[in-house]
Amino acid sequence: MRKKIVAANWKMNLDLTEGAELVNDIFNGSPQLTEHKIVVIAPPFIHLTHTGAQLVGMNHVHLGAQNCYSEASGAYTGEISAAMLKSAEVEYVIIGHSERREYFHEDDAMLAKKVNLALANGLKVIFCCGEPLAIRDANDQNAYVESQLIAGLFHLPVTALTDITIAYEPIWAIGTGRTATSAQAQDMHAHIRTVLGNKYGDTVAADTSILYGGSCKPSNAAELFACPDVDGGLIGGASLKAAEFLGIVAAMSNA
Ligand code: 13P
């Protein structure tokens, strides 16, 4: 049975005090979670040990990181390895976010290396895909996203797929206030599941969680999460305010 997941991607926001307050407020909001309806919180690296300590005893809330480096160790000033994340008790790592692809020039080959290192170190991967507006306008989004999945993931053996979650984040919907319609999200998520099924079989496809990201908020989360192939969300801006984030988590809990 695949999990429903609401994951918070704080991006480069919140200092240590603000982050601790936010986690505290989320805890006090008593989100209704189960083994199959979980939350992941991915703060900036500097928060990880502190946030991790706060999450001890919070059932079904897991620690995530926003990135890791594509080499195992060595002279890469400023970078953080998958093994370091594992040693900090991180469980999930986001790989391939469009902001990493665009601003930090992370290409498919680099992302595939990151995926390999993350899995080799026992982390679960939230692998991001999604098309820019020009591709959507040309109605080429299905082929574009399929090529991202092939390049980033399809070298993996089938056994690795249990540790992969996919996040579909159309770039034109990230931070813009313009959400994909639930029909657009469902169409793409169904396409992603078909692509996974063609490569890895129907069971893997049915068991893989596929999250939607891009201007997801309490007012649209319920409709998005009601789609049969939308298994939750990867949340940016609305994950920075406890009330909004809890509203989105409640939409998952009720889905
Ligand atoms: P917003 O929710 O701010 O649109 O960001 C989505 C996102 O990029 C999450 O990774």
- Tens of pLDDT, residue by residue over 196-217, are 999 999 999 999 999 999 999 9
Amino acid at position 45, single letter = F
Specify the amino acid at residue 171. Answer: I
pLDDT for 50 = 97
* Dist. CA 92–CA 85, nearest whole Å: 9
Locate 150 and state its tokens: 């092939």
Read off the CATH number of the domain in which 64 is found.
Answer: 3.20.20.70
Ligand 1 pocket test target in 5, 10, 11, 103 with most atoms within 8 Å of CB: 11
Percent helix / strand / coil, the chain, rounded to 5? 50, 15, 35
pLDDT at residue 236 in the model: 98
Mean pLDDT calculated for residue range 116-131: 98
Backbone angles phi, psi at 35, to 5 degrees: -60, -30
242 three-class SS: helix
99 pLDDT higher than 90: yes
Residue 18 annotated to the active site:
no
Per-residue confidence (pLDDT) for residue 177, from 0 to 100:
82
Is 169 tagged catalytic?
yes
Distance 235 CA to ligand 1 centre (A): 5
CA–CA distance, 240 with 21 (Å, rounded to integer): 10
Instruction: Count how many domains the chain has.
Output: 1
Q: Whose CA is nearest to atom 5 of ligand 1?
A: 236
CA distance 145 to 215: 19
**Domain of residue 73, residue span:** 4-254
* Number of neighbouring beta carbons within 10 Å of residue 215: 21
Q: Which of 169, 171, 178, 219 to mutate to test the pocket of ligand 1 (most atoms within 8 A of CB)?
A: 169
Query: Are the beta carbons of 193 and 146 closer than 8 angstroms?
Result: no
Is pLDDT above 90 for 33? yes
For the stretch 45-95, pLDDT in tens is 999 999 999 999 899 999 999 999 999 999 999 999 999 999 999 999 999
Round the average pLDDT of the chain to a whole number and report it.
97
Whether 140 shows a pLDDT value over 90: the answer reads yes
| Mean pLDDT score, 3-16 | 98
Cβ pair 187, 195 in contact under 8 A: no
Pairing of strands 232-235, 4-9: parallel
Residue 186 has what pLDDT? 98
